Amino acid sequence: MLTSHTAEAVQRALELGYRLLDTSSDYKTQPGIGKAVRRCNRPRESLYIVMKVEPEENGYDATTRNLEELKLAYADLVLIHRAPEKGVGERLWEQLIRARDDGLTRDIGVCSYKIEQLKTLAENTSEMPAVHQLEWSPFGHSLDMLSFCSGHEIVLQAYSPLTRGKRLKDERLAAIAGKYNKSPAQIILRWNLQHGVVPIPKAYREDHQRTNLDIFDFMLDEIDMGTLDGLNEQFSALEKLDYL
């Protein structure tokens, strides 16, 4: 049921023009995503498929197992799903480096690491993550993290960018949306793009999928970017912003 539900939503998204698919074994979406990717008429190299491994797993074996679940030959990005409770996961990182060197993935990265943890990981393994995926919205983000990552050529990916719908009715956000004749969700996604951050909204509904793609025909001005930055109150739609 979940597999066909996921496959249907992903297939429609691919037809609409989406290219990046974010998954993880614990989302139970891998079989459905794999199915949609195989069914669509897009060349594999035009897609960008993101997978995750858990801190307690062997990174190489977990990457292989996830690829088997997706029935794909390679991923575009494999991320450590969260920072380990102790240390920064150097061993796991070395396993991911090996997986990348063996062609199982094009790039490797992490989720929700603190700046200090990123520095330690790079110092102890001589390799910075290519991508850092973290919870990120105008209501909860860190411009210090953005500046650190830009300085080290780490791409930020914003998860739960729409606050799981919890802050979309904020009046200050609605005022900016009215000015551009866009929806609050579109304003948030555009704010991400203008900061050089890649938002990964989840949308099952077709109208949401369409709306979230329709963000390339306007620019937020500097004042509105500043207002949106100023909404930051370290809000988390999940529990807390682990990277702070």
Ligand X SMILES: NC(=O)c1ccc[n+]([C@@H]2O[C@H](COP(=O)([O-])OP(=O)(O)OC[C@H]3O[C@@H](n4cnc5c(N)ncnc54)[C@H](OP(=O)(O)O)[C@@H]3O)[C@@H](O)[C@H]2O)c1
Catalytic residues: 27
For residue 32, the minimal CB distance to ligand X (Å) is 13
The pattern of x and - marking residues 58 through 77 that bind ligand X according to CB under 6 A reads --------------------
For residue 121, the minimal CB distance to ligand X (Å) is 17
Residue of 20, 200, 225, 244 interacting with ligand X (CB under 6 A): 200
Query: Interaction with ligand X in 110-169: which residues (CB under 6 A)?
Result: 111, 133, 159-165, 168
Structure tokens at 155: 């791409």
Structure tokens at 85: 């409770």
Query: Which pairs count as long-range contacts for 97-104, CB under 8 Å and 24+ apart, including other chains?
Result: 97/125, 97/127, 98/59, 98/60, 99/59, 99/60, 99/63, 99/64, 102/60, 103/74, 104/60, 104/63, 104/64, 104/67, 104/74, 104/75, 104/78
Residue of 61, 204, 221, 234 interacting with ligand X (CB under 6 A): 204
The pattern of x and - marking residues 12 through 51 that bind ligand X according to CB under 6 A reads ----------x-----------------------------
For residue 80, the minimal CB distance to ligand X (Å) is 10
The pattern of x and - marking residues 211 through 230 that bind ligand X according to CB under 6 A reads xx------------------
Task: Select from 164, 150, 158 the least CA-distant residue to 203.
Answer: 164
Q: What is the DSSP letter of 26?
A: G
For residue 213, the minimal CB distance to ligand X (Å) is 10
Nearer to ligand X, 25 or 212 (CB): 212
Task: Select from 153, 93, 84 the least CA-distant residue to 124.
Answer: 93
**Cβ distance 220 to 180 under 8 Å?**
yes
Q: If you search the block for the tokens 């060197």, which residue do you land on?
A: 101
Residue ranges in contact with ligand X by CB under 6 A: 22, 81, 111, 133, 159-165, 168, 183, 185, 200-205, 208, 211-212
